[in-house]
């Protein structure tokens, strides 16, 4: 297994929920999470929790829907940390519950921008920073990109037109990244995670029972697992489900 110690990992949407749980878990393993979020108060609170637990962390404001902002943040982190910056967790996501008849243009565009375009913008900047596309790039270990997709990419429910569609698109984008990483011998590997419902602020609108939702740290442990795999492996698609979620398997 590859150790986490001293690795610098950018976590989008790190100001709450799964992003915060991931930052805490990776810091316990010795990594330095860079907590990126449009919610700067949340990002700073995540860093404070990491530091209170004895770890190290940084925070930065990042709007994943803005490609220039993604380029700026990745460049800054790479400038500070160099090759130690070798991990990206595309965790930022949003859900504006609405069905096909009721979804507004604004709701649709926002969800697609965060859930689909955001991972592309940040990953593109990250891969350029670690040398993807360069025939001279050499690394002792491959860099890691973890795309937090959702089980909603492979299942459907009413009143989630934008969310289901954007996550299905991210699942396909993840496969494209994995194919290109193989064919073009990127110095990076791409992992896909598909968790079911977690007890996070985003899920409050759905009023699910705590009993059917997973704790964010459960999925954070899966993020830690894929980041520490031996360098000759990657996780194509890991579905993580609660045993108590109704209607599964489907």
* Both tokens assigned to 42: 């949340």
| Helix, strand, coil % over all residues of the chain, rounded to 5 | 45, 15, 35
DSSP letter, residue 215: P
In the three-class reduction of DSSP (H, G, I as helix; E, B as strand; rest coil), residue 120 is classed as: helix
| Tokens representing residue 233 in the block | 């492996």
The strand pairing partners of 194, in sequence order, are 239
User: Which 3 state secondary structure label does DSSP give 82?
Assistant: helix
If DSSP codes are grouped into helix, strand and coil, which group holds residue 61? strand
Question: What H or E segment, with its residue span, contains residue 148?
Answer: strand 143-148
Name the residues annotated as catalytic: 163
Decide: 11 and 43 in contact? Cβ < 8 Å: no
Classified as helix, coil or strand, 115 is helix
Token pair belonging to 62: 């990042």
Instruction: Determine phi and psi for 37, rounding to 5 degrees.
Output: -165, 155
Write the DSSP symbol of residue 139: -
């Amino acid at each position: 297994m590859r150790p986490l110690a001293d690795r610098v990992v950018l976590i989008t949407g790190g100001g709450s929920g799964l992003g915060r749980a991931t930052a805490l878990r990776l810091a316990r393993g010795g990594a330095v999470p860079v907590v990126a979020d449009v919610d700067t108060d949340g990002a700073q609170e995540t860093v404070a929790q990491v530091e209170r637990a004895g770890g190290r962390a940084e925070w930065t404001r990042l709007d994943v829907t803005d490609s220039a902002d993604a380029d700026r943040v990745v460049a800054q982190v790479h400038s500070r940390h160099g090759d130690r910056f070798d991990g990206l967790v595309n965790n930022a996501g949003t859900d504006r519950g609405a069905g096909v008849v009721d979804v507004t243009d604004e709701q649709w565009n926002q969800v697609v921008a965060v859930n689909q375009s955001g991972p592309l913008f940040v990953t593109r900047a990250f891969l350029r920073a670690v040398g993807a596309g360069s025939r001279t790039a050499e690394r002792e270990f491959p860099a890691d990109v973890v795309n937090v997709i959702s089980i909603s990419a492979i299942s459907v429910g009413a009143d989630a037109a934008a969310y289901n569609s954007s996550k299905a698109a991210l699942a396909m984008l993840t496969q494209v990244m994995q194919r290109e990483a193989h064919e073009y011998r990127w110095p990076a590997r791409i992992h896909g995670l598909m968790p079911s419902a977690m007890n996070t602020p985003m899920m409050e609108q759905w009023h699910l029972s705590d009993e059917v939702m997973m704790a964010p740290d459960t999925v954070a442990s899966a993020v830690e697992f894929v980041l520490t795999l031996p360098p000759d492996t990657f996780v194509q698609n890991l579905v993580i489900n609660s045993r108590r979620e109704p209607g599964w398997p489907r």
